[in-house]
Structure 1
Amino acid sequence: MSKKRIVILGAGYGGVHSAKLLHKKFKKNDEVEITLIDKNSYHTLLTDLHEVAGSRIEKHGVQINLEKIFGKKKVNVVTDKIDNIDFESQKLISKTKEYEYDYLVLGSGSEPAFFGVDGAKEHSFTIWSYDDAVKIKEHVYKMFELASTETDEEKRRKMLTFVIAGAGFTGVETIGEIAEWKKKLSRKFNINEKEVSLKLVEGLPKILPILNDKLIAKAERRLNKLGVEILTQSMITKVTPDSVTLKDGQEFKTHTLIWTAGVQGSSFAANLGLTLGKRGRIQTNEYMQSVDHKNIYVIGDNSYFEEESGPTPQIVETALQTAETAVENIESDINNKDLKGFKSNYHGFMVSIGSRYAVAHLGNMELSGFFAMFMKHMVNVHYLFGVGGFNVVWSYIMHQFFTIKENRSILGGHFSYRSPNFWLVPLRVFVGYKWLREGLNKIPQVLEDPTDIFLIPQSPLSVEGTTGASETTAAAGEQAAEWGDALPVPDFISDIMDWFMNIFFYTDDGDFTILASVFQTGMVIAEIIVGGLLILGLFTAIASIVSVVMGIMIWTSGMAPYEMLWYLAAGIALIGGAGRVFGLDYYVMPILKKWWMKTPFARKSYLYID
């Protein structure tokens, strides 16, 4: 078989998914070459752009570097802007280079549709890229800042009036974020919130028309609670730099119109000369092939294909599922197998309204509020884990919960409040001292007679006239008398410990095995090592986790004094990096992290934190 060159144009949801799937199918096939081309070096989470526009998460929270995703994959990542495609010679052409292909996956995405509305394209903001979201964020902030010093009432009103055109998912999510953000901005610039006007304008009779009336009503109530005025059956006919005019003649004076009223295939794809369906989308057959060229597969928003229920919607699930069909059929064509037709399988729809509320229709379930928002986060985590594994999921969790501002998450700010780690230094050193002292005090006994077991309760068989877990615990309590009263242990845990010890630590006669001696020696050495590491502040997180585990082990043995409770609590408190202050972790961890991130295993498995 001659070498097959597969080129994917566009690193959107469909493009990245296609590249990941192709890697899995052909990673051991040297006769297949996979190239992903995009004008940006990163994958943008388009469904989270509203969070950037509303200043809920940081700007880089919606970007995933492509090299991070494909660093150790069989995918060549190319950052270049393609200007044209020559289908006859099978080449993609940029200003500086040409890329040959045998199979082309076209996923260049979509762009806003303005439907010929006078001035809409020239005088409105869109939210269709990372740059768009940042521009909206900066503009909204600037309007509040300028309004705070503006004395002319009419000019001030224009600055504080924000209009969203289109009440689909993007429009509702965007205005929900701005509605939340206005509270902080109003406080910051000493503006009365009642002066801020938020208008959601929709030409159809209802918002979020893809949802049922019950969920729509809940969404409307939430928007009203946030101070959003909803105008349905209101077509925008004209836009100027400082006004929006509706079909009924109503006019809003504003400097801010955010256009989310429609979407169409990208103009780049629409101008390639391929047969088009509706709204600039390329007509495909059921195999996601262009009807003009069988080796051109069109996915996501670029693809126009009608099922019995109508055209495939321009949503993330369509991008992922059309990508799967395209990849499956490319593999089938290479291996001379039958092609497989596309059949959609949508799992539901979710829309957030601010950071704490969402409505969702998932299968036969209808959710709203906290649980809908929770499911939205879970869906995002599932997608991100497939894209970039642990690394990207960790980054998402940090942005959404641990570095969130103004308590804008479903968990409020409980995980985002932070205090300097230097407050934990005395606790770290003290816990380390306690473990070190315990271990050093036991060393003489271990050295004198390693077979003298004092850290493990006696077997019930060796206690005359007693059997069962309760007797074992009683014997352990006597052995632990010098510690004071022992922490109580539930019977079911004692039963489990009995079972475990009978297998590993006791002989059939109830005597200790050699493993018991090894275990006891290991525990004493572990206490010394953990104590030393905590005092030095070296590998503090690991040492703290081991400290907690040792405390639990001592407790379950029935030999833990009440003093062990604070060992456990302190160990948990120290896990979060207490060694970075006045400890060796300050010097050692950055060096290890830099080394680890360069290893092939870390890049391939995504097991690292930026």
Structure 2
Amino acid sequence: MNKKVVVIGGGYGGLRAVEHLSKSSDIDITLIDKNPYHYLQTEAYGYIAGRFDMHDVAVDLKEWCSGFEKKVEYINDRVTSIEFDEQQVKRLGGSIPYDYLIIATGAQTNFFSFIKGLREHSYGVKKLQRAYNFRIEFENLIYKKLLNEKNGEDINLVIGGAGLSGVEVAAEMAHVIEVYKKTIGARVESIKIYLIDASKTILPGVSEFLIKSTQKRLDSLGVKTLRETFIDSMDDSYIYFRDSKKLKYHFMVFTGGIKAAELNDSLDVEKNKISQFIPNSRLNIGNRENVFAIGDCVEIKNAAKEVLPPTAQTAERSAEYVADAIRKKMDKQDIKPFNSSVLGVFIALGGKYSAGEIFGFIKVSGYSAYLLKKAITKAYYLGLRLRINAGYKNRIKRDI
């Protein structure tokens, strides 16, 4: 009798787990997600700046699941709880039994409660809806400039958080403004991009090469970088800093922190201060050998006990490991502890410019880095599209 594997979450990790599990004929797979689409968060910077369209950052999950030769069941619903003893996933529309469970619910923007007004007056990019709202705001601003409105004063667009997402959003918006200078001229010069972070440097935790390359690019685009700057509070007009200074702003995108998705809070298992699960060395949680957590919803460490960054790369590596672990467990084989490393980092820095580092010693920046990053992203996106195209064909066969 086939084993039932339930995957909660259609992000990078969830999809990679399904891909690998689908190779086993004796496994039945169910993917459940509250959203009917897979959101390519790594491409959010280009979407909110208007360079990418919706079809570049969202893929229909039902169509994707239908693209497998062996049926993958997709359920569009919200998971409300998990009954570990009963091996049941509870959802709004009922419950789903499982033999093995993979939790891949990702993360959400952590609008820090100690910054008064942050949640009410800023946007995040972890959710497609928020990215869409921000895109509309940005396009409306450019449109008003085209109509020769909002002239006579600086319009400050603020990015809170100078990590990977923050610098990518800042660079892309600044690049778009540079492009518009060629068509509507000086009208857009009053739009200023501010990148604010409490750290001493942008991109804390990455290599000196990437920090310097990124800072140089941001400077060339006119991005105003404020480091070691602490936000105390916000209202609908001003950002107030701890040093008693303030900055008038038009809108703000906050990328300064994450916390695990809401489902984590409902489960009585060990978690860290941002609600990520703390797993064992095999990525099991709650002392359950048949329950795994992958991606941003879990604190993942390598063999040296170093916490890996919450990136798509980490999510995919952990997904591959867990899919393989389930297969080995079914075959009664030994399972080695999880171990991985960051193979490379690429940062999109506006237009056809990127900076990247592969294997710790190959360093590239500029157009060549852009081409490498684009090739990696295109390969991933092409895989999704091919699966969906297969789904169209499979559906036609079933309808005939």
TM-score (norm 1): 0.61
**1:153-232 alignment to 2 at 5 Å?**
153=152, 156-157=153-154, 160-183=155-178, 192-232=187-227
Choose which of 331, 343, 353 in structure 1 pairs with 2:327. 331
Q: Residue in 2 aligned with 1:83? A: 80
Q: Residue in 2 aligned with 1:237? A: 232
2:319 paired with 1:320: no
Could you tell me how far 1:58 is from its partner in structure 2? 1.1
2:60 paired with 1:65: yes
2:365 paired with 1:379: no
Q: Residue in 1 aligned with 2:117? A: 119
Give, in whole Å, the separation in 2 of the partners of 1:151 and 1:348. Answer: 42
Give, in whole Å, the separation in 1 of the partners of 2:54 and 2:386. Answer: 21
Q: Residue in 2 aligned with 1:518? A: none
**1:354-412 CA distances to partner (integer Å, 9 max, x unpaired)?**
121111011111100011111101211333344444878xxxxxxxxxxxxxxxxxxxx
Give, in whole Å, the separation in 2 of the partners of 1:382 and 1:146. Answer: 37
SS of equivalent to 1:60: helix
Give, in whole Å, the separation in 2 of the partners of 1:385 and 1:185. Answer: 30
Could you tell me how far 1:107 is from its partner in structure 2? 0.4
**1:433-582 alignment to 2 at 5 Å?**
none
Contact kept, 8 Å, 2:7 with 2:31, in 1: the verdict is yes
Give, in whole Å, the separation in 2 of the partners of 1:260 and 1:379. Answer: 23
TM-score (norm 2): 0.91
1:293 to 1:325, Cα distance in 2 relative to 1, 3 A? same
**1:221-370 alignment to 2 at 5 Å?**
221-307=216-302, 308=304, 310-363=306-359, 364-370=361-367
Give, in whole Å, the separation in 2 of the partners of 1:107 and 1:390. Answer: 20
Contact kept, 8 Å, 1:317 with 1:346, in 2: the verdict is yes
Could you tell me how far 1:204 is from its partner in structure 2? 0.6
**Partner amino acid for 1:320?**
E
Give, in whole Å, the separation in 2 of the partners of 1:388 and 1:57. Answer: 16
Contact kept, 8 Å, 1:201 with 1:232, in 2: the verdict is yes
Give, in whole Å, the separation in 2 of the partners of 1:365 and 1:309. Answer: 25
SS of equivalent to 2:111: coil
Percent of aligned pairs sharing the same letter: 25
Give, in whole Å, the separation in 2 of the partners of 1:196 and 1:382. Answer: 35
Give, in whole Å, the separation in 1 of the partners of 2:150 and 2:131. Answer: 29
Contact kept, 8 Å, 2:45 with 2:172, in 1: the verdict is yes
**Structure having the higher Rg:** 1
Give, in whole Å, the separation in 1 of the partners of 2:327 and 2:14. Answer: 16
Contact kept, 8 Å, 2:64 with 2:391, in 1: the verdict is no
Give, in whole Å, the separation in 2 of the partners of 1:379 and 1:351. Answer: 12
Q: Residue in 2 aligned with 1:9? A: 8
Could you tell me how far 1:314 is from its partner in structure 2? 0.4
Could you tell me how far 1:68 is from its partner in structure 2? 3.4
**Partner amino acid for 1:12?**
G
**1:333-353 CA distances to partner (integer Å, 9 max, x unpaired)?**
222221221111321111011
**1:200-259 CA distances to partner (integer Å, 9 max, x unpaired)?**
001111111233223322211211111110111111111111111122222111131100
**Partner amino acid for 2:192?**
S
1:597 to 1:234, Cα distance in 2 relative to 1, 3 A? closer
Structure 1: gaps (5+ residues): 393-595, 604-610
Contact kept, 8 Å, 2:144 with 2:150, in 1: the verdict is no
Contact kept, 8 Å, 2:356 with 2:363, in 1: the verdict is yes
Could you tell me how far 1:70 is from its partner in structure 2? 2.4
**1:294-334 CA distances to partner (integer Å, 9 max, x unpaired)?**
22100001112333252121011110111111111111222
1:145 to 1:601, Cα distance in 2 relative to 1, 3 A? closer
Give, in whole Å, the separation in 1 of the partners of 2:392 and 2:212. Answer: 52
Contact kept, 8 Å, 1:111 with 1:264, in 2: the verdict is yes
Contact kept, 8 Å, 1:300 with 1:322, in 2: the verdict is yes
Q: Which is helix-richer, 1 or 2?
A: 1
1:62 to 1:305, Cα distance in 2 relative to 1, 3 A? closer
RMSD: 2.4
Q: Which has the higher contact order (CA 8 A, sep 6+)?
A: 2
Could you tell me how far 1:292 is from its partner in structure 2? 3.0
Could you tell me how far 1:15 is from its partner in structure 2? 0.1
Give, in whole Å, the separation in 1 of the partners of 2:116 and 2:35. Answer: 31
SS of equivalent to 1:126: coil
**Partner amino acid for 2:7?**
I
Q: Residue in 2 aligned with 1:486? A: none
Alignment size in residue pairs: 392
**Partner amino acid for 2:346?**
M
Could you tell me how far 1:122 is from its partner in structure 2? 1.4
Contact kept, 8 Å, 2:59 with 2:384, in 1: the verdict is no
**1:576-600 CA distances to partner (integer Å, 9 max, x unpaired)?**
xxxxxxxxxxxxxxxxxxxx98544
1:188 to 1:244, Cα distance in 2 relative to 1, 3 A? farther
